[in-house]
Structure 1
């Protein structure tokens, strides 16, 4: 006697049992002992044999061929609670900030809200505060985005310029550690202990980063990685007294806390401009645009000392300010600073010197490919700015650059439809939007015949 099976039979096995029973039947009636014989032959219970026969008998009565179809697997959850979409729409965003709050306002359990999230009936979203824009800001952003387009129309589209002669500079505070961090530990490991004298005064250093778009040859070989440098605002001061760490008079690295216009000017003239001249590839144009934001400590584009330093050795550098309240128009704020910080957070630091080394090494570790990807994202953002008429109420686009690189189909520049450009120009030409400032879009205006 075969050992009785445990678990469900496959569709093939159920059909074999059904055919066996049909051979042991006459005029739709099973012969005496057929169920017991099938149970013994196939090693299943008589109850399973009976269920299979009832299905086969129904098909015989209806005149259909006896074929047992696959059974539906798992619980179909027909009684699962349905999401009241209108009730969710009527909740304010503050009432949806946590699963607990949603559960209370929808009068359901937290696990039920979790099931809706798992079924993708509700999606999670992290909301970030964006700068408030005036109408003047929006028009400036729209003109700025259009100014980076090439006037050449091909197949009904316009491409963004290569941006190889534009250097983006910006500042950021880098902290020696974070107030709160997350780690994944084994059950028997102790919680890491972290301490400092004050969470309000964690050691920090401001850096100024200068990058441009990487330059590749026609065969894809990297000519210039685009990384001009990252420069800390620090000073060397002698120690005022002895300690267990150093003797009195030892030079210590101290961060400059008050970043004034003179500090910024000294960094640009004495560090950034010499670095540009030292690293700039000979095959690239020496007519360079240095783009900065509108922070008060930044120097005036017409500063005489800057002009004198920037127009030597055959170089012609021009300082421009990006539109106000527009961090999304600078590659540093858009994503490059975040990439540096993600690497810097993995490095341990005990003091200012360690922090400087960690930030500098993280800057050098980032590949030219990453930097080029951020410039493509910047062009995508310019396209989105055109679509929302200068606003910032858009999502940063994603185009799966990693997959495109693997397939060798990553575009060199992002294209914009001619119809969109024409609509933006018509919008700017309206009397209420035309203040006489064209922001270097004359090439587009004449190209489109306005």
Structure 2
């Protein structure tokens, strides 16, 4: 066995000593700059005394480097001597990719056989690497397809009618725009789970994998919340009303039936309601939602009509419920209930984007019981930025505009309004405009 000599053997197993200086690499661009400075400070064809020293001092490089650059430039034909010698366009030629292959196979290969790059490469008889490079170059695209809710013809008519009713009558027919939606309050329910089944973490090399365990993956602790929110108000860039009416949890206090090492028998414990009925919603609306609205709503708008929009769930009460109407009309208030069209989660800001944002904020915390779930959800609700809530209302109006163009259909792409740019300069609109001809057509239809 041939072993390396003693110095090499030492470096192989111990490493390079710290006191050994490595030669620094100077790119061709730096060498051109050094040579140009030397030419600038010298007479034609003659180097003046002290030029290399001054250039080395100004550029912070060793004197020998400047001297070597000057010598290479003189002997190599000037500044072109520092051109890179790296070969270009070397190696095998890239095979051309014909996009028509994708178009041809789109009519022959079912969509269910095109879920992955591997399946598509097999259908095209191509390598996965070639197909992946073509994907990065934009020769074809990746699409995530979301399943939509089924609509009947009556549903589509009601969706169009609802959107046209949201147009401001004073702006018709010359400049049709949506209403400001300042007097609309949106309510809806959402489950928040203690933990996700398959979250994604980024771990450092060698870091221990998190250990999570529950008694049953199908019965993870969860709490239902009733969200109540409205459009925030701004005056001269200052928020005067954040629109956060409340976020109420469906929980109750029950005495413990058995003793445990953590508490004695009979201790009141916070439990989540496993069944939310119409009577429960009726009680929450009268005892929690209406008092919160009357407490937080701008006092100068008392007496003006305020609409609470709800979906058509079976647990929601009727819009003419006598108990609700009696409490809603007390003390000079005019609060009314209204329902959105059936099968239309895209017509309420909570399902459109508000709940998803709260879910993302909630998942940044860690909850181990019902009390912590409730506390973390309320914390996420209070910390949610008001300006982002204001953007969701503009997205709602954009969706209503697309619904009218789609004749009440649900297969449309949510438009990107680029709301960040006008918001930074204080020109974010409150209402969106609608094409005049389209507005007249749908109103008269």
Q: TM-score interval w.r.t. the shorter chain?
A: 0.7 to 0.9
Kindly tell me: are residues 9 and 340 of structure 1, through their superposed partners in 2, closer, same or farther at Cα, counting changes over 3 Å? Answer: closer
User: For 2:262, what is the secondary structure of its paired residue?
Assistant: coil
Question: Equivalent residue of 2:323, what SS?
Answer: helix
1:191 to 196, 199, 209: 209
**1:271 maps to which residue?**
288
Question: What is the aligned partner in structure 2 of residue 94 from structure 1?
Answer: 112
Contact residue 310 and residue 338 of structure 2 kept, 8 A:
yes
Secondary structure of 2:335's aligned partner: strand
SS in 2 for 1:158: coil
Asked whether the 8 Å contact 1:153–1:418 carries over to 2, the reply is no
- 1:79 paired with 2:95, answer yes
1:215 matched to 2:233? The reply is: yes
* Residues 1:153 and 1:274: Cα distance change in structure 2 (over 3 Å): closer
* SS of residue paired to 1:205: strand
Which secondary structure state, in structure 2, belongs to the residue aligned with residue 149 of structure 1? coil
The counterpart of 2:266, out of the listed 240, 243, 249, is: 249
Deviation at 1:141, TM superposition (A): 0.3
| Equivalent residue for 1:106, pick from 90, 104, 124 | 124
Listed as ranges, the matches of 1:30-69 within 5 Å are 41-42=75-76
Aligned to 2:301, what secondary structure does the other structure show?
Answer: coil
Aligned 8 A contact 2:150 2:343 in 1: yes
1:211/1:227 contact within 8 Å kept: yes
Structure 1 residue 417, shift from structure 2 partner: 1.2
- Distance (whole Å) between structure 2 residues aligned to residue 350 and residue 98 of structure 1: 37
Shift of 1:103: 1.5
Query: 2:91 and 2:410 mapped to 1: Cα distance?
Result: 46
SS at match of 1:113: helix
Deviations 1:19-62 (A, max 9, x none): xxxxxxxxxxxxxxxxxx99982299xxx99xx9xxxxxxxxxx
* Runs of at least 5 residues in structure 2 that lack an aligned partner in the other structure: 1-24, 37-70
Equivalents in 1 of 2:263, 2:134: separation in Å? 60
Equivalent residue, structure 2, for 1:120? 138
Distance verdict in 2 for CA 1:121–1:155, change over 3 Å: farther
- Does 2:341 match 1:323? yes
Match of 2:387 among 356, 363, 369: 369
Following superposition, the deviation at residue 304 of structure 1 comes to 0.6
Distance 1:166 1:292 in 2: 10
Q: Is the 8 A contact 1:167 1:210 kept in 2?
A: yes
> How far apart are residue 79 of structure 1 and its match?
2.2
* Number of matched pairs: 378
Instruction: Provide the residue aligned with 2:56 in structure 1.
Output: none
- 2:361 is matched with which residue: 343, 348, 355? 343
Partner of 2:14: none
CA distance in 2, matches of 1:156, 1:265: 43
Q: How far, CA to CA, are the matches of 1:350 and 1:166 in structure 2? A: 36
Unpaired runs of 5+ in structure 1?
Answer: 17-36, 53-70, 429-450
Partner Cα distance (2:223, 2:90) in 1: 58
Q: Distance in 2 between matches of 1:148 and 1:140?
A: 13
Q: After the TM superposition, which of the residue ranges 328-337 and 245-254 deviates more from structure 2?
A: 245-254
Given the superposition, is the C-alpha separation of residues 76 and 310 from structure 1 closer, same or farther in structure 2, using an over 3 Å criterion? farther
How far, CA to CA, are the matches of 1:151 and 1:394 in structure 2? 26
Query: Is the Cα contact below 8 Å between 2:237 and 2:426 reproduced in 1?
Result: no
> RMSD between aligned alpha carbons?
2.9
Of 305, 311, 319 in structure 2, the residue corresponding to residue 301 of structure 1 is 319
Greater displacement, 369-378 / 403-412: 403-412
Moved more, 389-398 or 281-290: 281-290
The one of 342, 366, 372 equivalent to 1:354 is 372
- Structure-1 separation of matches of 2:417 and 2:383: 24
> Following the alignment from structure 2 to structure 1, what is the Cα–Cα distance between the partners of residues 102 and 331?
67
Cα separation, 2, equivalents of 1:155 and 1:143: 17
After TM superposition, give the deviation of residue 235 of structure 1 in Å. Answer: 0.8
Distance 1:81 1:253, change over 3 A: same
Residue 420 of structure 1: aligned partner:
438
Partner of 1:232: 249
Q: Which residue of structure 2 lines up, in the alignment, with residue 283 of structure 1?
A: 300
C-alpha separation in 2, matches of 1:72 and 1:386: 56
Q: 1:6 Cα deviation (Å)? A: 11
Q: CA deviation at 1:296?
A: 0.5
Instruction: Indicate whether 1:135 and 2:169 are aligned.
Output: no
